[in-house]
Amino acid sequence: MAHQPRPPVRLKKKQLERLKRLASRCREWVLGYEDETWWSRFERPNLHAWAGEPGLRLHQLEKARADPDPKALCCYGLLRQDSGPLLLRFVDGRPVSAVTLDFLDWICGRLAAEGKRVWVLVWDNASWHKSQKVRGWIKDHNRIVKLEGGVRILSWRLPIKSPWLNPIEPHWVHGKRAVVEPDRPLRADEVITRVCDYFGCEHYEHLKQHLS
């Protein structure tokens, strides 16, 4: 049956459950689900209402010529398995390998300040996750950590086409429904403020896309 989990997915799920149990038993470990999303100022999310309630009408929006803001804003996010907060960093640009490395390095610094020693990084197979540059950086980073201390990254990629295994995905969906404005496009700063308020997180300095 097409809807049933494929054998490799079942195997991956078992591996992930083992990692989750291990991280929950080790106080110096943290398991975190990483993902990126785009917060569109114009695309309208799917909304639902209780039967009998008047439906919320979302107007089709278009970008005005004089509008200086981008159509959408990208952000990186990390959802921790422990009680830690959802961590977000917006990007001036798009997700690429170099920006990913900046985000990983930032997360490692925050986790090290908490006394963590191992970060089980769960993420998908985006090209900027599995690029040679990112894989090489993680390898070099772990080598330095072994010699000098810090947070070792244990990278674990989700099966291909299995977004339901990443629990940060529903957070994106609900967040986009919560921040939408029915009848006008939000300014970029309004989107950022509403997103940070919804998730209860701090608005940190934006990551910058590196221009080659």
Spatial CB neighbours of 156, under 8 Å, sequence gap ≥ 6: 15, 16, 19, 120, 121, 122, 123
Specify which residues 73 forms β-bridges with. Answer: 39
Residue-level pLDDT at 139: 98
Contact 158, 12 (CB under 8 A): yes
What is the pLDDT averaged over residues 55-60? 55
What is the pLDDT averaged over residues 13-23? 90
Residue-level pLDDT at 7: 64
- Tell me the percentage of the chain whose pLDDT exceeds 70: 87
Q: Please give the angle made by the CA atoms of 199, 191 and 121, to the nearest 5 degrees.
A: 45
Residue-level pLDDT at 1: 41
Which CATH architecture describes the domain 22-40+70-208?
2-Layer Sandwich (3.30)
Beta-strand relationship, 29-40 and 118-123: parallel
Spatial CB neighbours of 154, under 8 Å, sequence gap ≥ 6: 19, 118, 119, 120, 121
Residue-level pLDDT at 2: 45
Residue-level pLDDT at 61: 65
Tell me: pLDDT of 54 over 80: no
Contact 57, 180 (CB under 8 A): no
75-119 pLDDT, tens digit each? 999 999 997 678 999 999 999 999 999 999 999 999 999 999 999
Contact 91, 206 (CB under 8 A): yes
Lowest-confidence region among 22-36, 61-75, 93-107, 196-210: 61-75
120-131 pLDDT, tens digit each? 999 999 999 999
Residue-level pLDDT at 102: 98
5-16 pLDDT, tens digit each? 556 688 788 889
Domain ranges of the chain: 22-40+70-208
**Amino acid code (one letter) for 181:** E
141-172 pLDDT, tens digit each? 999 999 999 999 999 999 988 888 899 999 99
Contact 105, 71 (CB under 8 A): no
Tell me: pLDDT of 52 over 70: no
What does the DSSP assignment read for 55-82?
PPPPPP----TT--S-SEEEEEEEEESS
Contact 111, 141 (CB under 8 A): no
Compute CA distances 128 → 40, 79, 103, 207, whole Å. 21, 19, 12, 15
Residue-level pLDDT at 45: 73
Compute CA distances 53 → 50, 58, 177, 178, whole Å. 6, 15, 17, 18
Mean pLDDT of the chain: 88
